[in-house]
Amino acid sequence: MKLWLLVLALVSGSAMAYPGASSNETDPALERFIHLSRPQSLESVQIIAPDGAPFDLSQFKGQPVMINLWATWCPPCIRELPSLERFRQDFEPRGLQVAPVSIDRDITVVKPFLEELGIADLETWYDTSNQIGKILPTDLIPASFILDAEGNLVGFVRSFIDWDSPAVRATMEQYLPEAAAQ
């Protein structure tokens, strides 16, 4: 009996210590998802495009975009990236640009890191000097910021998200162009 109680205690403790062990792990994140009642205009800042060229965030205007801030040294980001790539593959053809932005200071570590994760095709932008931090909070990652087609902030979440979750995908449907047109 004591052995059974010890096993039960260890299993229960590991479920609490490892947030991924919960089947409801996205529910708290969805509760932290903020949809703004009025879009907030943002200043544009320059980051680095996937091809290494300077890229102004205003270049995203004309289509809704989700900017996802992450880093190679961030464990929740590492957990999130594979599902983000699957989300990108499903939602970009429907009109929502997904722009993962690495905030690593050394961009040379990013591509090998993505290859090691098995998502080398994840097109990534870079913000090595925290330019996005001038217009959006970057103190907590992963963080995802939704901009409408005019470049206004319309929603955000600053937490790990399982982008494969049906509840998360249903929430994100509202940001697709056909939903915005209604």
Give the pLDDT confidence of 51-70 residue by residue, as tens digits.
Answer: 999 999 999 999 999 999 99
Q: Where do the domains of the chain lie, and which CATH numbers do they carry?
A: 26-180 (3.40.30.10)
- Look at residue 9 and tell me whether its pLDDT is greater than 50: no
Of residues 23 and 7, more confidently modeled: 23
Mean pLDDT across the chain: 84
- Tokens 């464990």, residue? 75
Q: Hey, which residues does 116 pair with through a beta bridge?
A: none
Is the bond preceding residue 142 a cis peptide, omega within 30 degrees?
A: yes
pLDDT at residue 83 above 90? yes
pLDDT digits 0-9 by tens, 137-172: 889 999 999 999 999 999 999 999 999 999 999 999
Q: Which residues contact 99 (CB under 8 A, 6 or more apart)?
A: 60, 65, 66, 67, 68, 125
Residues 16-34: b if buried by 16+ CB within 10 A, e if exposed: eeeeeeeeebbeebbeebe
pLDDT digits (tens, 9 = 90+) for 84-138: 999 999 999 999 999 999 999 999 999 999 999 999 999 999 999 999 999 998 8
Neighbours of 178 (CB within 10 A): 9
Sheet of 65-70, strand order: 34-40, 153-157, 143-147, 65-70, 97-102, 125-126, 46-48, 54-56
Question: Is the pLDDT at 18 greater than 80, yes or no?
Answer: no
CB 102 within 8 A of CB 126: yes
Q: Pick the range with the lowest mean pLDDT from 7-16, 74-83, 105-114.
A: 7-16
Distance CA 84, CA 79 (A): 9
Strand partners, 143: 69
What's the pTM?
0.81
DSSP bridge partners of 144: 68, 157
Rg, Å, the chain Cα set: 18
